[in-house]
Amino acid sequence: MPRPIRSKTNFSIYHVMIRSVDGILLFRDDYDKEQFLLRLKRYKKKYGFKLYAYCLMDNHAHMVIDSAGADISRLMHGLNLSYAKYYNIKYERRGHVFSDRFRSEIIDNDKYILQASKYIHKNPRKLKGWGKKVFLYPYSSAPIYLGEVKDKFQILDTDFILKLYSEKNKKKAIKEYLDFMLVPNSEDEEKQIELKYGFENQKCEYKSEKVVIAKDIEPDNVIDFVANYINQDRTKIKMKYVRETTEAKAISMVLIIRFCDYKTKDVCGYFGNITQSRVSGLCSLGVDLLFGDDKYKSIIDDFLDKCS
């Protein structure tokens, strides 16, 4: 039976759901959950999306993702593939880790984003021992929202949801958000929520008032910018095996994927038909440089200023 066409835009907010194949444990221990969140952080940097809520259970996970111009299918495919490779190597297995492709629902208004986040943050009540301390579960974004813990992985964007309660008073916003999550749903509401936020439903669209980034920048413009920024010969950046331009090439690849709407295979062709594994390795280096090296800490902002 053919798959249904996924309803999506590149400027929507999604409730994303992933689950394991055949009921296996997707996360066998806390270390697995941390590895998934580390990969989520890396892909967040690579694609520039925003994460408004998440919860990792034993055999599934929920996230609220603002695509911010990124292709949700592309970024989720990369994230799931990266984790599946780690999982299969660690547990000496082969085959699929995730059940089919990820599921997603495009959230269509402020009320639904709050309801989705509430559902996600209450998920741990299903885990033994967490029923009475559901909002303290460490692999959920709830304790970060409530100020119980710091954002260890620096992946959560809390302002969007909290500002729905108060633009300027964060303490007031946190209190009102907690009050909202503590209000129990009726039995009928619970049934409707399960139908809406379970793994079956896919519909709606939500653009809200968020800022989006255009993805129509030409890759040649990226190369020109990086060449000038790092003082490199632009023709050498595109050459296959020039070691002196490795950093420039790595940074260029990340910017091209993020702002030019290029897939990995497109980048392979653009840089002279290099392999996908080579592109993946260079992109990893590029992410590390862009977000870990002070020399490049303002390059993304400078690039966007130049292109705006």
| Identical topology for domains 13-197 and 219-307 | no
The CATH architecture one would assign to domain 13-197 is 2-Layer Sandwich (3.30)
Asked if 134 and 125 touch (Cβ cutoff 8 Å), the reply is yes
Percent of the chain with pLDDT strictly greater than 90: 42
User: What's the pLDDT score for residue 262?
Assistant: 83
pLDDT tens track for 53-77: 999 999 999 999 998 888 888 899 9
Domain assignments of the chain as residue spans, ordered by start: 13-197, 219-307
What is 219-307's CATH number? 1.10.1750.10
- Calculate mean pLDDT across residues 197-226: 61
37 falls in which pLDDT band (50, 70, 90)?
Answer: very high
7 falls in which pLDDT band (50, 70, 90)?
Answer: very low
What the block records as the tokens of 187 is 């039995």
User: What's the pLDDT score for residue 103?
Assistant: 86
Is the predicted pLDDT of residue 214 greater than 80, yes or no?
no
Question: In b/e form, how buried is each residue of 174-200, taking b as 16+ CB within 10 angstroms?
Answer: beebeeebeeeeeeeeeeebeebbeee
What the block records as the tokens of 122 is 């209450």
User: What's the pLDDT score for residue 281?
Assistant: 86
User: What's the pLDDT score for residue 201?
Assistant: 40
Question: 62-71, 219-228, 270-279 — which is least confidently predicted?
Answer: 270-279
Q: For residue 109, how many other CB atoms are within 10 A of its CB?
A: 13
What the block records as the tokens of 184 is 């129990």
Q: What's the half-sphere exposure (Cβ side, CA atoms, 13 Å) at 32? A: 22
pTM of the model: 0.75
The one-letter amino acid code at 270 reads Y
